Amino acid sequence: MLKEKRIFNKKLVIAGLIIFIGVITFPFWFNHAKVVAPPEVKLTEKAKEAKECVLPDKVKMRGNHMQLLDMWRDTVVRDGNRKYIGTNGKEYEMSLSNTCLDCHSNKADFCDKCHEYASVNPYCWDCHIDNPKETKNNETQ
């Protein structure tokens, strides 16, 4: 039986292990164990006043707003239809700029908060830059 019990190629093995553990625990030390508060979206006065939105609740909204916007885009562009009946029975105009951003005019404090937090980069903003109102005019351009 082998008497000697030591780590052979010690430097290499230890260095390798340290690097490996360093890499896999990267998230633990990257954040410095500081508390990361979940993003809090701010509602504008207008939004607060409205009390309700196109979907019934916050959870549905968080999970599904992108599909809704996608559907809106298709309906508007392909069918020219801009009427949307919300789950509350109200009629809305399908327009990101005119409807959504009308109330939620504070993109930085509303949209971006979560998007940045979850590292989501929707390409909505490629065209719909920061809340310029859509007019009949620039729509036809």
Q: Is residue 7 part of the contact set for other proteins (CB under 8 A)? A: yes
CB of 22 to other proteins, least distance (A): 11
* Eight-state DSSP code of residue 70: H
Q: Determine contact, residues 84/65, Cβ cutoff 8 Å.
A: no
1 scored as a contact of other proteins (CB under 8 A): yes
What type of residue sits at position 115?
Answer: H
Pick the closer one to other proteins by CB: 45 or 126: 126
Q: Which two tokens stand for residue 70?
A: 């996608």
How far is 141 from 1, CA to CA, in rounded Å? Answer: 86
- Closest separation between CB of residue 63 and other proteins, Å? 4
Asked if 87 interacts with other proteins (CB under 8 A), we say: no
Pick the stretch among 43-51, 57-65, 88-96, 128-136 that binds other proteins (CB under 8 A). 57-65
The interface region with other proteins, picked from 19-27, 94-102, 103-111, 129-137 by CB under 8 A, is 19-27
Task: Report the residue number, 32 or 51, with the smaller CB distance to other proteins.
Answer: 32
Structure-token pair, residue 40? 């809090």
Structure tokens at 105: 């005019």
Query: CB neighbours of 7 closer than 8 A, spacing ≥ 6?
Result: 13, 14
Name the segment binding other proteins (CB under 8 A); options: 47-55, 83-91, 101-109, 111-119. 111-119
Least gap, CB of 122 to other proteins (angstroms) = 9
For residue 25, state whether it binds other proteins (rule: CB under 8 A): yes
CA distance 129 to 120: 17
Q: Which residues of 77-94 are buried (b: 16+ CB within 10 A; e: fewer)?
A: eeeeeeebeeeeeeebeb
